[in-house]
């Protein structure tokens, strides 16, 4: 699970667009601590309580949720607390891994290292042109994979989490995972 532009909208205008589209209202929370670049941050972030409800529902399906964000442990300090989640595992994503190179997300290596051949749902706003084929190839090789591309202009919406829930439920019914 990514944080920036997925769970944390980039600006109040993004939150307003999401709310106009039917999302519950975002709350402003003060965050004081290290940012993704490890530099001190003291500012407001926008958090939507609905994201916490959705993530807790996914966690109740007995799956591991992990952070794939340059926020590292700060994602737990900020988001896990805001969403009433336990500390989640953190993948070793570098500060510039929220980008693509040669058509692939730079997070791919850290994500593969973390999940191995287990099923994977990857929720992010940055995928390269080759990532969907990578997901299809991974699925064909026996490691079911679902990529959810979040539009950074509205952040994560309910229909995307509903798709995750359906996919996980279907997977549980058809696979030994």
Return the structure tokens found at 24. 């519950």
Rounded mean pLDDT of 91-114?
Answer: 78
Residues 141-172: tens digit of each pLDDT: 999 999 999 999 999 999 999 999 999 999 99
pLDDT value at residue 35: 78
Q: Running DSSP on this structure, what letter comes out for residue 78?
A: I
């Amino acid at each position: 699970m990514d944080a920036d532009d997925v769970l944390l909208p980039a600006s109040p205008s993004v939150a307003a667009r999401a709310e106009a589209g039917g999302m519950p209202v975002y709350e402003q929370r003060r965050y004081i601590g290290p940012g993704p670049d490890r530099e001190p941050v003291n500012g407001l972030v926008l958090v939507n309580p609905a994201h916490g409800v959705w993530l807790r529902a996914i966690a109740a399906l007995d799956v591991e949720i992990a952070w794939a964000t340059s926020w590292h442990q700060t994602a737990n300090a900020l988001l896990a607390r805001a969403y009433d989640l336990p500390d989640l595992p953190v993948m070793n994503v570098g500060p510039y891994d929220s980008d693509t190179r040669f058509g692939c997300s730079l997070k791919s290596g850290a994500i593969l290292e973390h999940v191995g051949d287990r099923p994977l749902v990857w929720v992010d706003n940055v995928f390269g042109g080759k990532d969907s084929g990578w997901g299809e190839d991974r699925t064909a090789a026996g490691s079911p994979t679902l990529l959810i591309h979040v539009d950074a202009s509205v952040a994560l919406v309910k229909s995307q989490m509903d798709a995750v829930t359906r996919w996980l439920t279907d997977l549980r019914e058809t696979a030994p995972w």
